[in-house]
Structure 1
Amino acid sequence: MTIQEMKQLMQERGYTYAQIADLSGVPLGTVQKIFNGETKGLRYDILTALEGIFKEPMAVMESCAAYGEEKKPGMYTIEDYRALPEEQRVELIDGYFYDMAAPTTFHQLIAGEVYRQIANYIIDQGGACTPFISPIDVQLDNDEKTMIQPDVIIVCKPDQIERRNIMGAPDFVLEVISPGTKRRDHVVKLFKYEQAGVREYWIVDPYKKRVLVYFFQREASPVIYPIDADIPVNIYEGKLTIKFQQIAKWGEQED
């Protein structure tokens, strides 16, 4: 893949230099020089790292037989998703299956604590919104090609809540990064959530000890907080603040 082809894909998908640097491991300054045409010779390892971001599809390429009926990549539907064994944890995004590894204990502590604080606030305030914690199916695009399982969501429209899943975009989504989901959470889901109409998206990175907050109604770039901060929830105009101090303490025990 040429740099020009990567630049074209970068524009089509709305990637930033910072996202490319974070996902590839290539220093930000180097990424900027490469895509601005300031670097002529490109080392093979750097080229390979960059290509890994842009190659399609960014799904786990398992044998088609692993997902039951054999179909071409990108052609799987919610019917195929529902036909899978219950113990097989996957997400369906644009017709591709993405494997989901079992979460770590710290991953679950983060999701559980954030959910607890959100639920307590909504109950105390008598709010109309409803929080959910994974596993919860979200039919994000109201179509047959995407069914995801975010870690924590808030849904403010009661008619979106169906017996089997949530229909359409939640108002708030939080994902906790795992080693195998970094690229998916930062790129694939970021794009999908924004396009679907999610108002606010948090990415908790326990490895870099930070939280990225995207509030799509205001700006495209995230606000970055340390993982021990008090972080305001924008859809509640900052009246709800998630306190991460206890989460940070649990993280210290993991180190």
Structure 2
Amino acid sequence: MNIVLMEYYRELKGYTYEKLSELSGIPIETVQKIFKGEAFSLDCEALQALEKVLKTEHYGNEVRKTGAYGVKKKDYTLEDYYALPEDQRVELIDGKFYEMKAPTTGHQAVSMEISMQIFHYISRKKGQCRVLFAPVDVQLDCDDQTMVQPDVLIICDKDKIIRRCIMGAPDFIIEILSESTQKKDIYLKLHKYEAAGVREYWMVDTDRRKVIVYFFEKDAYPAIYGMKDKIPVEIFGGELEIDFALVEDTLTDIGQ
């Protein structure tokens, strides 16, 4: 994890340098030097300790009670997923249900703006890929214990598109972070998507006006952009750039 990403996680968690020192066991002076870029000879153990603190997270919103689902199980399956009421929004990840709240107007506006930019590019190029946006089911691992609903996705293998869902990993996924889902999107889904074979994963943080980009085929660490940047879509060789100034304008227009 690079320093820029560590700083983002620190801000996300609301940790002071003192809190990081307390949780990691690293002296406060060392913590401050690392984050200020003044530690020219870094102790690998110190960095690993800080990373462990910053990356450890409870994902939240996991359904543990039986009321809405009728029966308590150690692991839920797709049979349980399809038995839910139609108005019950959840994701199934590794046999656990995670509740999903209705998206905000800002969330939907961002999703639509990004999707339209991708759609126009693919149409102009007469490409074979397809852009889809939530709600659409993705049976990520092709098993019976995971079904997710990414906010925006690009799928280039038409054989994965079946009537009821996407069967297998999309090529590209965007999650728009919200207070109720950000921990799941940043920690749990990041690892699930990479392991499943998603090629590129973006997390759009509208509150902090940041975009975190993982291109799993090339970079071990993500790139972090601002909401005024044009961000290349690497699965298209960077030829498509999402203009986040337009996304920012969309948020401004609706007072967010």
Q: Where on the TM-score scale, by shorter chain, does this alignment land: which range? A: 0.7 to 0.9
Q: Which has the higher contact order (CA 8 A, sep 6+)?
A: 2
**How high is the TM-score relative to the length of structure 1?**
0.82
Unaligned runs of 5+ in 2: 29-52
Q: Give the letter aligned to residue 158 of structure 2.
A: P
Q: CA separation in 1, counterparts of 2:228 and 2:54?
A: 34
Report the secondary structure of 1:211's partner residue: strand
Paired-residue identity, %: 44
Count of aligned residue pairs for this structure pair: 228
Q: CA separation in 2, counterparts of 1:215 and 1:27?
A: 30
1:229 aligns to what? 229
Report the secondary structure of 2:132's partner residue: strand
- CA change 1:60–1:51 in 2 (3 A) is farther
1:67 aligns to what? 69
Q: Give the letter aligned to residue 31 of structure 1.
A: L
Instruction: Give a deviation string over 1:13-64, Cα, whole Å, max 9, x none.
Output: xxx855752443213685367435436xxxxxxxxxx699545x64424412
Within-5 A mapping of 1:44-63: 53-55=56-58, 58-63=60-65
**How high is the TM-score relative to the length of structure 2?**
0.81
Q: CA separation in 2, counterparts of 1:28 and 1:20?
A: 12
- CA change 1:231–1:28 in 2 (3 A) is farther
Matched, 1:175 2:164: no
Q: CA separation in 2, counterparts of 1:176 and 1:152?
A: 9
Matched, 1:113 2:122: no
Within-5 A mapping of 1:195-234: 195-234=195-234
1:134 aligns to what? 134
Instruction: Give a deviation string over 1:121-149, Cα, whole Å, max 9, x none.
Output: 11110111111111000000111110000
* Deviates most, 22-31 or 212-221: 22-31
Deviation at 1:251, TM superposition (A): 2.2
Does the CA-based 8 Å contact 2:92-2:147 persist in structure 1?
A: yes
Unaligned runs of 5+ in 1: 1-15, 40-49
Report the secondary structure of 1:128's partner residue: coil
Does the CA-based 8 Å contact 1:17-1:31 persist in structure 2?
A: no
* Deviates most, 240-249 or 137-146: 240-249
